Structure 1
Amino acid sequence: MRPIGLALSAIALALCASAASAQAQKPGVEKLYILNCGEGTAGDISRWSPGVNEGKSMDFVDSCYLIKHGQDWFLWDTGIPDAVAAMPNGLAPADPKAVTWHRPKTLQAQLEQIGVKPADIKAMGVSHTHPDHIGNVEMFPQARLYVQKAEYDWPGTNNEPRFKPSHPVELLVGDKDVFGDGSMTILSTPGHTPGHQSLLVKLPKTGAVVLSGDAVHFKDNWDNRRVPSMNANKDQSAASMQKIADTLAKEKAQLWINHDKAQRDSQKLAPQFYD
């Protein structure tokens, strides 16, 4: 080979090595922590499974998820307000069929145990705006909040806004690749509420996981594709469950159901993590 050919080959090899090195340095998602964001008992789970389980009570859990991506921390859902931890009898619902919530551990204490301050969290998302998912949003006033526009625009009680107007927000219409590298994608899954969303997370060892939000509340409802009577839209709910099922098949992913106690009890909780 002529010297010029050798030189060009060396340059090509160097460029390939540089590209491979840059690819290797892309952080992706490194860790996912499951946080205890509430525990409670539902008075009558037929509220979530119409015509089935009439009068049957069930223990529920409420999970939040802290995700590390390079130097970034991302929080998914914020659970029952930390103030409930000081309520001996918990937070009772207006509807006796619904969940009486307790807060055994505060979100702030669990973050501290991991070594994370609220100010370290620069971005967050909520599956939807029911109180058991947004109870601590304002603990992170500086964090950019990812939420579907349909959810953000959905009137709250007495037509009040669902978040403080000063909170930085990125309004979504559909799916969102949060970090631009495919490692974490917000999935638009409306139905439970007008702008409900779920989260696909790809971990290096654990593999892909879909965090359901309230697209489904417990495994029996998922297995039977049941739609709770209080959902905003039954057809959208069914379509969103199918979208999740398709995602699970495509990504060979696990489904982590937010409120399912049996599943949560089998998982590692913070300060342990999935990588």
Structure 2
Amino acid sequence: MLKGPRIAIQLALAALAIVLIGCAGMSPQRTSVVERLYVLDCGEGTAIDVSRWTPGVDIGKPAAFVDNCYLIKHAQGWLLWDTGVDDAVAKLPDGAVPADPKSILWRRPRTLASQLEQLGVKPSDIRYVAISHTHPDHIGNVEMFPQAVLLVQRAEYEWPGAGNAPRFKPGHPVTLLDGDRDVFGDGSVTILSTPGHTPGHQSLLVNLPKTGAVVLTGDAVHFRSNWDQRRVPSINFSKELTLSSMQRIADLMARDNAQLWINHDKDQRNTMKMAPAYYE
């Protein structure tokens, strides 16, 4: 009378073993391991004539700029996207007055160092510093992180600076990129090659577990109106490459249902959670 139940149990155990063996051979699901994304205040500026960024419109009109940096906590380490206006500008009562009066007067209400300290993050904790491009409002504090590996497009790194000077300190550790790069190898943080504003401009696609996908534009686009109207600033390195990169970003946004976070757009930043709040 006990043979029936025993056989049933043995069959059940054998079936379970088959299932476990099958699962052991399956590839693990790739999931995002970005834990947090902080938006940092990396500068506030004013342009006397915004039309060099909005060709054909708003001629002679002033405009407010903001400058964001983004701190990403990943299971494999910290990544800082852009470093903003030099913290030394915080000590200048009138801000960093530009040599070109039509350029941007930058101020630094909060230093990058103080914001990292508030979060309990030391400069030595930063594993990677990824730079959208090499304009001063994006690389002002690179040498605050002398041990962090720079992630920069080769075309940007080799682009001569003023007087043919190098754009980074030669001894700073760097990984030169020739296109896109999956930074942590899990699809959660991907550098996108988006040239046009400068020869080696890049943007960042971040997949957050709760917020979803976001594209950090760098200066691939400066304002929402420029995005909507596909306007290209007159100061850009290449209009054609800029438009191509904007289309590439649009295609990625459609594919991943991603949000567009525009670095210098003050109206958008007014709606965002700023550090020490964060996105996850």
In the superposition, the TM-score normalised over structure 1's length comes to: 0.94
Q: Distance in 1 between matches of 2:186 and 2:149?
A: 19
Output one character per residue of 1:36-66: Cα deviation in whole Å (capped at 9) or x when no partner: 0000111111010112110010110000000
Match of 1:168 in 2: 173
What amino acid is the match of 2:210?
K
Query: Is 1:137 aligned to 2:137, yes or no?
Result: no
Residue 154 of structure 1 deviates from its aligned partner by 0.2
Q: Distance in 2 between matches of 1:7 and 1:136?
A: 62
Larger CA Rg, structure 1 vs 2: 2
What amino acid is the match of 1:107?
L
User: More displaced, 96-105 or 189-198?
Assistant: 96-105
What amino acid is the match of 1:196?
H
> What is the aligned-residue identity percentage?
66
User: More displaced, 45-54 or 73-82?
Assistant: 45-54
Query: Is 1:199 aligned to 2:209, yes or no?
Result: no
Residue 16 of structure 1 deviates from its aligned partner by 2.3
The one of 55, 69, 82 equivalent to 2:87 is: 82
Report the count of equivalent residues.
273
Q: Distance in 2 between matches of 1:169 and 1:30?
A: 25
Q: Counterpart of 1:162 in 2: which secondary structure? A: coil
What amino acid is the match of 1:52?
V
What amino acid is the match of 2:111?
T
What amino acid is the match of 1:235?
E
- Unpaired runs of 5+ in structure 1? none
User: More displaced, 91-100 or 211-220?
Assistant: 91-100
Q: Counterpart of 1:38 in 2: which secondary structure? A: strand
Match of 2:237 in 1: 232
Match of 2:268 in 1: 263
Q: Distance in 1 between matches of 2:38 and 2:25?
A: 33
Contact 2:32–2:186 (CA<8 Å) still a contact in 1? no
Query: Is 1:182 aligned to 2:209, yes or no?
Result: no
Query: Is 1:214 aligned to 2:219, yes or no?
Result: yes
Residue 9 of structure 1 deviates from its aligned partner by 4.1
- Unpaired runs of 5+ in structure 2? 1-6
Contact 1:143–1:168 (CA<8 Å) still a contact in 2? yes
Q: Distance in 2 between matches of 1:207 and 1:157?
A: 40
Q: CA RMSD in A?
A: 2.0
Output one character per residue of 1:206-255: Cα deviation in whole Å (capped at 9) or x when no partner: 00000000000111111100011110011000000000100111110000
Q: Distance in 2 between matches of 1:18 and 1:270?
A: 42
Q: Distance in 2 between matches of 1:179 and 1:155?
A: 29
Output one character per residue of 1:117-157: Cα deviation in whole Å (capped at 9) or x when no partner: 00000111010000000000000010011000000010001
Q: Counterpart of 1:97 in 2: which secondary structure? A: coil
Q: Counterpart of 2:35 in 1: which secondary structure? A: strand
Distance verdict in 2 for CA 1:28–1:56, change over 3 Å: same
Contact 1:188–1:198 (CA<8 Å) still a contact in 2? yes
Match of 1:13 in 2: 20
Query: Is 1:95 aligned to 2:123, yes or no?
Result: no
Query: Is 1:147 aligned to 2:186, yes or no?
Result: no
Output one character per residue of 1:6-51: Cα deviation in whole Å (capped at 9) or x when no partner: 457426416627968x658x66111100000000111111010112
